[in-house]
């Protein structure tokens, strides 16, 4: 078994970065150091912790020119999109803003006889396991509130984005967050599981595959360690008869194809009412046919390679199976000669699809979307719920009450109306079914990263 982890760049298949994994003894020592440093960190005033985290976030922003190019090399996102600092800063800033209220004691009674209240106290050491697709934004979802609430944090990033945790650690340490309080660590799956099983952490937050989430829960079984998971998705869009059609097409297709379709809450299946179906499809094909697939370092590129060849091959397999079963592809391969059979994958729109096809059931996580015609809300609701996943659903209508009613019947974590593929840090980021359980960001994010402690003080 190798003790090295490599990032293979999707740009050219070269080894872009390589790091040494911590041994079990080294990893245990890192946990011990984090635990020892956490109490002093939690004892600092809340406003001091907030200020240090905000300064660390700002420092990451100062690195953005380097970060954008590094992301292109690591996971293929075109440099023209400028990286993730906007969302990274928005999420951290919101969590900093709400921290005093979110973490304030809940006072039940303060009388001559009793003082009764509930505090929010940190878990201790929090393990954050972050994915490669939006590596800065997904990490900060947990890192910022965990540190602000007084936890020490150990960040284990995906092998595809090895440099992200290092950049965050460099920034946070430079502004004065102690090195043992925020650690970027390189751990094997086995070492990670061993640490969890040994009760090394007060809380584990995992974003990734269903299989990865199951492994985390198995490792934590019997330890009473809290585990938050944000796993797979097969997010639907539904275009109703009164929708703003141009806005719906533009937003849903961007939600399906941006980042080469590698978005946690990307649109993976679209249902369109019969009266708008043909026009929606024609407009969608025109948009996608205008994309430029190519090297993400080129400013003209709008669609970069997928992060790894095996991810692209899974999308190819789903697409080819659907076509063999009767689906019709609408995007001409001749428009995308850069599709090399490897990580560079052309986008595709499929019609004549149904739920017997994996492309409409399994997570694709790539630049392919199936579009189905529906008769009414009832049929759309049935199809949207016919999934093992439940992260977001995007509804397109001018009628807010109709959106509320349809939304109330969808098994999902977030209901969007007239938008898609966005994470609002003021709202709880959560899912249901095989998308996992837990909740990030918002006040609820703070509740998950702390535990309640009750005080019942009798004065007389």
Q: From 277, 288, 142, 132, select the one nearest 205 (Cα to Cα).
A: 142
7, 263, 264, 265: the catalytic one is 264
Q: Tell me whether residue 239 is exposed, middle or buried, using C-beta atoms within 10 angstroms of its C-beta: 0 to 12, 13 to 18, 19 or more.
A: buried
Could you tell me where the DSSP H helices lie in 309-441? 309-324, 377-385, 400-408
* Rounded Cα distance, 238 and 92, in Å: 31
351 DSSP β-pair partners: 328
230, 268, 314, 363: the catalytic one is 230
* Rounded Cα distance, 128 and 218, in Å: 17
Q: What is the DSSP secondary structure assignment for residue 160, as one 8-state letter?
A: G
Q: Sheet containing 114-122: give its strands across.
A: 106-110, 114-122, 450-458
Q: Summarize the chain as % helix, strand, coil (round to 5).
A: 45, 20, 35
Phi, psi of 266, deg, nearest 5: -65, 155
Question: Strand 106-110 and strand 114-122: pairing?
Answer: antiparallel
Assess whether 230 carries a catalytic annotation: yes
* Rounded Cα distance, 198 and 219, in Å: 9
* Rounded Cα distance, 55 and 52, in Å: 5
* Rounded Cα distance, 110 and 26, in Å: 48
Assess whether 62 carries a catalytic annotation: no
* Rounded Cα distance, 150 and 291, in Å: 45
Q: Output the six-digit token pair for 101.
A: 């209220």
The catalytic residue positions are 230, 264
């Amino acid at each position: 078994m190798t003790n090295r982890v490599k990032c293979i760049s999707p740009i050219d298949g070269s080894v872009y970065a390589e790091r040494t994994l911590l041994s079990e003894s080294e990893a245990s020592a890192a946990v011990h150091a984090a635990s020892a440093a956490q109490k002093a960190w939690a004892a600092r005033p809340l406003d001091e912790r907030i200020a240090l985290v905000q300064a660390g976030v700002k420092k990451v922003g100062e690195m953005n020119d380097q970060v954008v190019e590094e992301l292109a090399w690591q996971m293929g996102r075109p440099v023209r999109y400028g990286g993730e600092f906007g969302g990274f800063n928005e999420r951290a800033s919101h969590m900093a803003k709400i921290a005093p209220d979110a973490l304030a004691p809940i006072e039940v009674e303060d009388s001559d006889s009793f003082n009764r209240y509930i505090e929010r106290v940190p878990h201790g050491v929090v393990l954050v396991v972050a994915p490669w697709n939006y590596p800065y934004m997904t990490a900060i979802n947990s890192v910022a509130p965990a540190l602000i609430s007084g936890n020490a944090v150990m960040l284990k990033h995906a092998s595809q984005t090895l440099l992200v945790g290092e950049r965050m650690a460099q920034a946070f340490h430079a502004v004065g967050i102690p090195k043992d309080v925020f650690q970027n660590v390189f751990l094997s799956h086995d070492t990670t599981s061993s640490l969890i099983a040994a009760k090394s952490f007060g809380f584990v937050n995992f974003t990734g595959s269903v299989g990865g989430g199951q492994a985390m829960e198995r490792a934590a079984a019997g330890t009473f360690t809290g585990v938050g998971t944000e796993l797979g998705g097969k997010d639907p869009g539904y275009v109703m008869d009164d929708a703003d059609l141009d806005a719906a097409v533009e937003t849903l297709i961007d939600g399906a194809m941006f980042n080469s379709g590698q978005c946690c809450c990307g649109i993976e299946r679209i249902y369109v009412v019969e009266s708008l179906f043909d026009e929606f499809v024609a407009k969608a094909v025109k948009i996608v046919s205008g994309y430029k697939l190519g090297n993400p370092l080129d400013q003209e590129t709008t669609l970069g390679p997928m992060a790894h060849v095996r991810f692209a091959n899974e999308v190819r397999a789903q697409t080819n199976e659907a076509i063999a079963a009767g689906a019709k592809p609408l995007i001409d391969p001749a428009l995308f000669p850069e599709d090399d059979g490897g990580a560079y994958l052309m986008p595709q729109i499929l019609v004549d699809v149904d739920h017997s096809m994996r492309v409409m059931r399994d997570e694709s996580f790539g630049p392919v979307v199936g579009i189905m015609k529906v008769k009414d809300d009832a049929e759309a609701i049935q199809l949207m719920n016919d999934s093992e996943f439940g992260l977001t659903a995007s509804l397109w209508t001018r009628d807010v009450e109709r959106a509320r009613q349809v939304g109330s019947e969808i098994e999902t974590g977030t209901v969007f109306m007239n938008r898609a593929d966005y994470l609002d840090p003021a709202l709880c980021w959560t899912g249901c079914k095989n998308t996992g359980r837990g909740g990030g960001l918002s006040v609820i994010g703070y509740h998950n990263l702390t535990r309640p402690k009750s005080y019942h003080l009798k004065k007389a």
